Amino acid sequence: MLDRPQHTPVDPSLDPFALAKALSGFHFIDGGYVPGRNGATFAVVNPATGIEVARAAEGDAADVDAAVQSAAKAQKAWAKVPARKRGAMVHACAALLKDHVEELSRLIALETGKALRTESRVEAGVVADVFEFFGGLGSELKGESVPFAPNVLSVTVREPLGVVGAIIPWNVPMLLMALKVAPALVAGNAVVVKSAEEAPLAVLRICELMNRVLPPGVFNMVSGYGPECGAPLVEHPLVRKVTFTGSVETGKIVARAAANKLIPVTLELGGKSPMIVFADCDFDKTVSGALTSMRFTRQGQSCTAASRIYVERPIFDRFVTAMKTAVDAMVMGDPLDEKTDIGTIVSQDQLAKVRGFIEEGTATAGATAHVCSAMPSDPALKKGLFIQPVIFTGLGPDSRLVREEIFGPVTVMAPFDDAEAVLAEANDSEYGLAASLWTNNLKVGLDLAHRLEAGLVQINQNLVVQANLSYGGVKSSGLGKEASLEAMLEHFTHKKTIMVNMG
């Protein structure tokens, strides 16, 4: 196994401020940190204070070209490494990442505002798990033998696609990157990741750590803005596959650009995930399930957030009250403080968008905004992008808050009387990413699970994406699956047929 310590701008550090500063201004290309070719940088801001903590390299087409050229060169040799050995190297990356969980957790908390204890540390742990999972799948890259004719040996083999361009968002950047990079590498591709503008640091650090094990050029990373840095990656002639997580609008732009080159694209887009609660559920478990389903500890910044909660009428009022009480008990504060349950929104733009939805909901006739929890009192956080979670009741099905993805700590609750009616309401959405059902009547639960238009339906739980379980939406929520063996085979390889006429 290779062990090639990188030139590291600073020693591993649990001080995220020092690490952020030291990581400033770099892409990671061809096995090393490199500054952007044009010298331009943009600010990385701590959303808890509004203070700049780092500068990120503002990549353009020239940086992208350097990264893709390096990946294309490295991929040829990488594809020849036996699949199990590639897997073993990815597995070794997982071990290295486990040693750095604390450092990565603090860095991601600093740049995204996600609370260290409830979110950032969890994400860093899951990232290592994803690399470990895919690292074990090298020998599953199998083909088939096909019964064509007795004298003709007909087989299929799985081949890598070449250079994969991976574009990631800011909400769970380390995990979403891992879901793309791990299977792509094990399958024998080389990768260029374009990080999200708001959160370029922790993923850059992961890229460097993994390059201590991987051959140079196999895994590269560029930072920059979407049109200037993401678009050239999609359009680059040597990029043979694009995998993207982000908004529906940008996903369509990416899909159109990929279509121009006739290359495959995987899209993980938005969601407006319904949670359906029947009166026979385990009440307390379901209330606490609603809190995790809505991802309140991530300020609701999740595509699978249960942002529409339908509760059977007999328990509706009691459920709303219990949920409000439970969210009230959550502590908003400094993301790096172990006491904090809920951190900040990631950026000013996102905050303005969420506030717009809250104002609109509050101004809607008949609606009630149940504002929860308390703003932090620490004066050092007065410029922080905090927002109190809001539970809305009394909004009709045509409200923008019911139909559009808010990506903030805002959920809409409505009572229902009839399973068929709630199913119709749940399916009346442009999106189809995830859904959850809460009932002790498995007959009803399974029937609805089959008829809900969603890529992932869970009964009596609402876990986030899990390694080994295919994840991905229908309708405007995306194209293709991630996180599983099938996803690796379908989206990061192509099947070649070889026939031998044996006479």
Q: Which residues bind ligand ADP (CB under 6 A)?
A: 167-170, 194, 196-197, 225-227, 230-231, 234, 246-247, 250, 253-254
Per the CB < 8 A criterion, the answer to whether 213 and 92 are in contact is yes
3-state secondary structure 161-230: CCEEEEECCCCCHHHHHHHHHHHHHHCCCEEEEECECCECHHHHHHHHHHCCCCCCCCEEEECCCHHHHH
CA 132, 470, 222, 49 dihedral sign is negative
Q: Which of 22, 184, 180 is nearest to 103 (CA)?
A: 22
Asked whether 134 and 360 are in contact (CB, 8 A), the reply is: no
Least Å distance, CB 80 to ligand ADP, is: 31
Which CB sits closer to ligand ADP, 42 or 225?
225
Residue 82: alpha-carbon gap to chain centroid: 29
User: Of these residues, 119, 123, 268, 482, which one is catalytic?
Assistant: 268
Cβ closer to ligand ADP: 164 or 287?
A: 164
Name which of 107 and 254 has its Cβ closer to ligand ADP.
254
Give least dist CB 234 to ligand ADP, A. 5
Tell me the closest approach of the beta carbon of residue 202 to ligand ADP, in angstroms: 14
Q: How far is the CB of 255 from ligand ADP (least distance, A)?
A: 10
Whether residue 268 lies in the annotated active site: yes
Dist CA 242 CA 257 (whole Å): 10
Shortest distance in whole angstroms from residue 181 CB to ligand ADP: 14
Q: Which is nearer to ligand ADP, 225 or 283 (CB)?
A: 225
Q: Which is nearer to ligand ADP, 302 or 373 (CB)?
A: 302
Residue 398, both tokens:
């045509």
Strand partners, 182: none
Determine the distance from the C-alpha atom of residue 168 to the mean position of all C-alpha atoms in its chain, rounded to a whole number. Answer: 7
The CB-nearest residue to ligand ADP is 226
How far is the C-alpha of 39 from the C-alpha of 401, rounded, in Å?
42
DSSP state of 226: I
Q: Which two tokens stand for residue 319?
A: 């459920």
- Positions annotated as catalytic residues are 268
